[in-house]
Amino acid sequence: MPNQPASVCFVAPNNYAVLAGRADIRQIGGAEVQRVLIARELVERGHRVSFVTLDHGQPDGVEHDGIAVFKMCGKDDGVPGLRFIHPRWTSLCAAMRRADADVYVQRTSGVETGQTAMWANSNNKRFIYSVANDPECDQRLGGKRTWRERAFYKYGLRRADRVVAQTDQQQTMLRTHFGIDAVVIRSCAPDPGDPFSNDDRSSAFASRRVLWVGRFSRQKRLDRLTAIAAACPDVRFDVIGDHPNPPPEVAATLAELRRHSNVTLHGFIPYAELPPFYERSSVLLCTSDWEGYPNTFMEAWSRAVPVVSTIDPDSVIARHSLGRVCTRDDATIAASLTSMLTDEAAWRNCADNSRRFYLNNHTPTATGNAWHNLLMHA
């Protein structure tokens, strides 16, 4: 588009909690946080920005931080078996029409990918798909439970005007598996500034507190923490997250963790209340089998908190000494934590590197500039 900033609508049914700061809506994930951070940056650069979300009782077209929100149906509206078409699909299309944007952006694979692409293509609008995690870049689509999710996602992905990847690895996978040339735009986290004195950092190291944050889903492998906590009895573990309908194995894991006196299960914590947990932690722990580019990593690094992880997107942890990368073995993870928490010089080096890496790669300003440039030339 010529020099005038394009109007953009984020199609994000589950995003209202982060947009409105609604602690009563228990739906917060990395994708939801990223959309809001990017949207606010685009508003500052002169774009008209809107969202399509589920109906949580908010007025249609209500604004938050200069971002208009158009609502589709409620989460449980409609008759099971029929509501996929009406009211979910019909209300989604109606909300996109009311948003009246130049570009529609959708993130996280599923039926909305195909639905958004279909509506945008048929209404002479541009569609950008933004990758949320690595399995979305693989033809096998790990984690997509139904043929409908897989079919609609593949349809939308192939009809996107542009595809945005988070990492070089995702870019390569998309080219290999789908023949798509994606653009890489790094994700971001808010900058808390650098309030940490030497005394603050010494206290964080001495606290021997390890933070685990995420959904209690299979991929996150919270179950690994039971053996890790047992192997590290002098380390305190803070676990934040929940699951709307925990499967039996998750319930069993939580019951087992409650037996460990060095594990505290905090449950769901609103996004705005998370910073103190990072700031008093020595290390952020990731036990996942796979991820995209976790928000939790950037939020930790922004506060000079190293990461001990079973995954390493684009090998940044290893290449930039941002913590420790370990195999998916409980004993190895425990040993990596112990190593990090018993060598203050090494810990401080990783902490300093983490803050520096965040400033060089993951500020909202840098991500906002990249999205602005993409929208100006999409």
In the chain, what are the domain boundaries? 8-188+363-377, 198-361
**Cα 223–Cα 226–Cα 228 angle in degrees, nearest 5:** 110
pLDDT for the residue numbered 199 = 67
- Fold for 8-188+363-377, please state it: Rossmann fold (3.40.50)
Rounded-to-integer distance, Cα 116 and Cα 301, Å: 34
Cα four-point dihedral sign 148, 157, 176, 295:
negative
pLDDT for the residue numbered 240 = 97
pLDDT for the residue numbered 1 = 42
Dmax (CA) for the chain in angstroms is 62
pLDDT for the residue numbered 248 = 87
Judge whether 104 and 116 are in contact, CB under 8 Å: yes
Low pLDDT (below 70) residues in the chain: 1-2, 28, 142-144, 195-199
Indicate the SS3 state at residue 77: coil
72 backbone φψ class: left, alpha, beta (φ>0; ψ -120 to 50): beta
Q: Which class does domain 198-361 fall in?
A: alpha beta
What distances in angstroms separate CA 65 from CA 28, 39, 49, 222, 347, one per listed residue? 18, 9, 10, 35, 38
pLDDT for the residue numbered 143 = 63
pLDDT for the residue numbered 14 = 94
Question: In the chain, where does DSSP find H-type helix?
Answer: 16-20, 30-44, 90-99, 111-122, 147-158, 168-178, 198-207, 224-231, 248-257, 275-279, 295-302, 316-320, 330-342, 344-361, 364-377
Cα four-point dihedral sign 242, 247, 251, 252:
negative
CA 377 to chain centre: 25
Rounded-to-integer distance, Cα 373 and Cα 164, Å: 13
What distances in angstroms separate CA 323 from CA 41, 129, 205, 288, one per listed residue? 29, 31, 13, 16
- pTM for the full predicted model: 0.92
Rounded-to-integer distance, Cα 46 and Cα 48, Å: 7
Rounded-to-integer distance, Cα 109 and Cα 174, Å: 13
Judge whether 275 and 281 are in contact, CB under 8 Å: no
How big, in percent rounded to 5, are the helix, strand and coil portions of the chain? 45, 15, 40
Rounded-to-integer distance, Cα 279 and Cα 183, Å: 33
Q: Which structure tokens are listed for 75?
A: 């989460």
Helix axes 30-44, 364-377, angle to 10 degrees: 70
